[in-house]
Amino acid sequence: MTSTAAGFAAAGRRRRKLASYAVLLTALVVLGVTYAVLAPRGHAASTAEESFAVQKGRELFQTSCATCHGINAQGTQEAPSLIGVGAAAVDFQVSSGRMPLARPGPQADRKEAKYDRAQIDQMAAYVASLAPGPQIPQVDLADGDLQLGGNLFRTNCASCHNFAGSGGALTYGKYAPRLTPATPVQVAEAIRTGPENMPVFGPSTFDDHQVNSIVKYVDYVTRSKNPGGLALGKFGPVPEGLVIAVVGIPALLAMTLWIGARA
Ligand code: HEC
Ligand code: HEC
């Protein structure tokens, strides 16, 4: 009697064990199917594309940039390390034609860009893969506030670039360039990466709204027509005063003399 009871009990335990295995199995299958359905698609493909870009970027870098910046972008006597400068610095320097540097001098000049969009993106991806750094900024001009941008520009940028963005000389043969040729993205990149003597204005100085506002102001002031007539190079009050002194006052004098002579 007791042995049959024990037999039933053992069979029951086995059945319960089997049942719990079945539940576990079903749960795993359900989990797997749910993951397959909900998992973000194309993830594997995009990382593959990214590493392809990094690989292509490394090849381009080694042929055109490594002589100065070092085989692993670590820097040499000729040029600074690019580890941590981010995609934004590469995009700014190469899309504005400053890099690759043609010849050493006090400053890298803006030139015709030597690489196309895809190649620039690849080199930027390579440098960004070395260490984290500023990303290529997403500019949203619609988000910018022109008046705020104007105020920020006059207090932070005009001392070097002039209030109308027409540029100015600095010391040691360096200069702050005219901002007209810069695209909105390049303006934001210059703000974020601070090329050459220009200070870096990071996210703790300007948030994205402030950057959008400055970019909007630069776009406005460098592309606006001159409603007041001749702009005289927008160099400000000194040339304007000079033109008044050299042209305006003699003209008035001549007119007075002429009127006096007739009277
Ligand atoms: C003839 C030497 C030379 C070559 C070639 C060259 N560079 Fe440079 N690069 C420099 C020097 C010098 C500087 C620093 C002075 C400056 O910024 O004007 C610099 C600065 C930079 C900066 C700015 C770093 C920062 O701190 O913001 C970036 C980015 C850069 N180079 C990328 C490149 C890339 C990408 C290439 C290849 C397409 C390249 N350079 C080729 C000499 C060179
Ligand atoms: C201390 C002087 C200084 C200040 C302040 C300064 N910049 Fe610059 N800026 C420079 C210099 C120098 C360069 C040229 C860098 C180079 O040639 O590599 C430059 C380059 C630029 C460029 C690139 C133009 C081109 O030819 O592609 C832009 C855009 C720019 N600055 C915007 C700004 C803005 C916006 C501010 C204010 C938030 C600002 N800068 C503040 C000195 C300055």
Same structural domain, 145 and 104: no
CB 145 within 8 A of CB 216: yes
- The mean of the pLDDT values for the chain is 86
What pLDDT is stored for residue 225 in this prediction? 66
What pLDDT is stored for residue 42 in this prediction? 47
Closest by CA position to 79, among listed 70, 90, 88: 70
Q: Is the CB of 108 under 6 A from ligand 1?
A: yes
Question: With bands split at pLDDT 50, 70 and 90, how would you rate the model's confidence at 1?
Answer: very low
Same structural domain, 162 and 100: no
Looking at the 3D structure of the chain, how many domains does it have? 2
Backbone angles phi, psi at 160, to 5 degrees: -100, -45
Residue in the block written with tokens 């440098």: 127
Is there a domain that residue 253 lies in?
Answer: no
Q: Give 6-34 pLDDT, tens digit per residue.
A: 666 666 677 777 777 777 777 776 766 66
Q: Give 84-114 pLDDT, tens digit per residue.
A: 999 999 999 999 999 999 877 788 999 999 9
Average pLDDT for 173-186: 93
* C-alpha to C-alpha distance for 202 and 194, rounded to whole angstroms: 9
Same structural domain, 110 and 157: no
Is there a domain that residue 185 lies in?
Answer: yes
List residues near ligand 2 (CB under 6 A).
Answer: 96, 98, 107-108, 110, 156-157, 159-161, 170, 174, 176-177, 179, 181-182, 186-187, 190-191, 195-199, 201, 214, 218
Report the separation in Å between the CA atom of 161 and the middle of ligand 2, taken as the mean of its atom positions: 7
Question: With bands split at pLDDT 50, 70 and 90, how would you rate the model's confidence at 233?
Answer: low
Residue type, 37: V
Tell me: pLDDT of 191 over 90: yes
Same structural domain, 205 and 150: yes
Same structural domain, 162 and 114: no
Is there a domain that residue 164 lies in?
Answer: yes
* CATH number of 80's domain: 1.10.760.10
Would you give the distance in Å from CA 181 to the centre of its chain?
16
Question: With bands split at pLDDT 50, 70 and 90, how would you rate the model's confidence at 168?
Answer: confident
Is there a domain that residue 20 lies in?
Answer: no
Domain of 156 in residue numbering reads as 141-226
CB 157 within 8 A of CB 168: no
Q: Name beta bridge partners: 168.
A: 176
pTM recorded for the entire structure: 0.77
Same structural domain, 171 and 220: yes
Same structural domain, 161 and 125: no
Residue in the block written with tokens 């190469």: 94
- Nearest residue (by CA) to ligand 2, atom 14, is 176
Average pLDDT for 183-190: 98
Is there a domain that residue 263 lies in?
Answer: no
User: DSSP character for 108?
Assistant: P
Same structural domain, 145 and 114: no
Same structural domain, 121 and 193: no
Q: Among residues 95, 130, 165, which one ends one of the domains? A: 130
Same structural domain, 147 and 210: yes
Is there a domain that residue 168 lies in?
Answer: yes
Helix count (H) and strand count (E) of the chain? 11, 2
Is there a domain that residue 219 lies in?
Answer: yes
Same structural domain, 125 and 56: yes
Is there a domain that residue 12 lies in?
Answer: no
